[in-house]
Structure 1
Amino acid sequence: MPDLSASPTLDLQLSWRGTFGRVRVFPDRVHAETSYEREGLTAVPMEQVQGWRIEPCDFDAVCVEFVTPEDTYRVLLDTSDRGVAALALQRVLGEPAPTES
């Protein structure tokens, strides 16, 4: 059972053009939430995630894509956070899925 009192090893968030995204990486799990392409702030159902990747979204943002059987959840982050996010996510979730582009 994960230690829910533990502090995240990485906590990234971005408010971008009216949307919000946050990725919190713990030693044994990832929590993410997004309002990008959503009606409101939505928690990513991490127990359903089958893969992840980081793709460019715009010149000033990247999308961390969490892929589930039913949907792809895109969490926006600043382009400068791409490298550190990739390293932290890979440590917990394994190798990223192939890019779509």
Structure 2
Amino acid sequence: MPDPSVSPTLDLQLTWRGTSGRIRVYDHTVRAETSFERDGVVQVPVDRARGWRIEPCDFDAVCVEFVCEDETFRVLLDTSDERVARLALERALGAPLPPAS
């Protein structure tokens, strides 16, 4: 877990059609939370994820998927944030998984 006194290098968040998502990227770790497809806001277990990818969600949102062994957590971001999110996540977590479809 990152030191709470350290600012993230990137902090993206979106409230979209009644759901919320946030991704904070630090030098070597990522923290994320989402309410998409959930009963409330949950912390994404990024450290348990076997990989991540960015998929289209709608014309005005993209979906960052953190793929864990037993489930996938989806964090929605604005389409304009896709490029910077991809670069930051690759730097912190490595290359993305191939597309789901």
| Residue deviations 1:13-72 (CA, integer Å, cap 9, x gap) | 000000000000000100000000001000001121110000000010000000000110
TM-score, with structure 1 as normaliser: 0.96
Q: Does 1:78 align with 2:78?
A: yes
Structure 2 segments unaligned to the other structure (5+ residues): none
Q: Give, in whole Å, the separation in 2 of the partners of 1:88 and 1:19.
A: 23
Structural mapping, 1:49-88, within 5 Å: 49-88=49-88
Q: Which runs of 4+ in 1 moved over 3 A?
A: 1-4
TM-score, with structure 2 as normaliser: 0.96
Alpha-carbon RMSD across the aligned residues, in angstroms, is 1.1
Question: Does structure 1 retain, via aligned residues, the 8 Å contact 2:2–2:26?
Answer: no
Count of residues in Structure 1 that have an aligned counterpart in Structure 2: 101
Structure 1 segments unaligned to the other structure (5+ residues): none
